[in-house]
Amino acid sequence: RKEVEQDPGPFNVPEGATVAFNCTYSNSASQSFFWYRQDCRKEPKLLMSVYSSGNEDGRFTAQLNRASQYISLLIRDSKLSDSATYLCVVNSPNQAGTALIFGKGTTLSVSS
């Protein structure tokens, strides 16, 4: 099983749509979870951390299910500017230091 697995997409949605991305991770000892956003040919930028209780930041909601080792990101009222690749990221506590494991990303394209 891959360490962090995401549906690569692409997800093509109209403006205003709600879209959900899912991610599974293999290391049950992972404690930190994130969603990063990466625009084409740019660096990844932290979108939000994911907490066990779930957390919301404006139109974005992240959920974590530790029992199923599953993370989700919900985007409501999609904007054109949301078009990007969304990376699911978890920490790897079995390695020395603070190592992050990145999924390959899910591509979102929002059209008018």
Query: Which residues make up the interface to another protein (CB under 8 A)?
Result: 4, 8, 32, 34, 41-46, 49, 87, 91, 96-105
Q: What is the largest CA-CA distance in the chain?
A: 46
Nearer to another protein, 30 or 78 (CB): 30
Of the pair 30, 63, the CB lying nearest another protein is at: 30
User: What are 109's strand-pairing partners?
Assistant: 12
Smallest distance, another protein to C-beta of residue 88, A? 9
Q: Closer CB to another protein, residue 72 or residue 102?
A: 102
Residue 27 identity:
N
- Cα separation, 69 vs 81, whole angstroms: 29
> Could you give the count of Cα atoms lying within 13 Å of 90 in the half-sphere of its Cβ?
25
Helix, coil or strand: residue 82: helix
> Which CB atom, from 83 or from 91, has the smaller least distance to another protein?
91
Q: How far is the CB of 97 from another protein (least distance, A)?
A: 5
Residue whose pair of structure tokens reads 């949301």 in the numeric block: 82
